[in-house]
Amino acid sequence: MNPLSPATQSDILGILQREQDRAIALLSSSPLLAGLFVSYANKAAALATPSPESEEWKGLRNTIVTSREKIEKLKSENLKVTEGLEDDIKSLRAELTEAREKYDRLMVDSSAEKAAFLIQVLDLEVCLDSSLITG
């Protein structure tokens, strides 16, 4: 939720104060109206706030307790999954390192093998050239 700017908050507080002052002035002018307002406000508050002993209140408490238990269970599961993923990452890094080393060895071996074949080809060409010259 975006907080209101200080200027907006000040404007709202000013409006609320003016309306509160008007309401107090109106209720002060009529004791009967003031009594009715207080009675209505008390009844509305009693209806809006369930008794801590009501079934609705007990249901809300049970929902909160159940939700907290589920949150704790999910935290525990999340921790296990996180630890498992960390282990997987370590294992994959080790495999990657091993694969890189193997690749590097193959590249070196391949270069050495190419050089050996090139020497053989050059030797054969030299032999062929010398046999053509002598032969």
Interatomic CA distance for residues 135 and 127, integer angstroms: 11
**Range(s) of the domain holding residue 18:** 10-49
115 occurs within a structural domain: no
41 occurs within a structural domain: yes
Interatomic CA distance for residues 14 and 6, integer angstroms: 12
Domain count within the chain: 1
Residues 56 and 63 sit within 8 Å (Cβ to Cβ): no
For the four alpha carbons of 55, 58, 62 and 63, in that order, the dihedral sign comes to positive
39 occurs within a structural domain: yes
* Percent of the chain at pLDDT exceeding 90: 48
14 occurs within a structural domain: yes
pLDDT tens-place string over residues 61-82 = 899 999 999 999 999 999 999 9
90 occurs within a structural domain: no
**pLDDT, average across residues 87-113:** 90
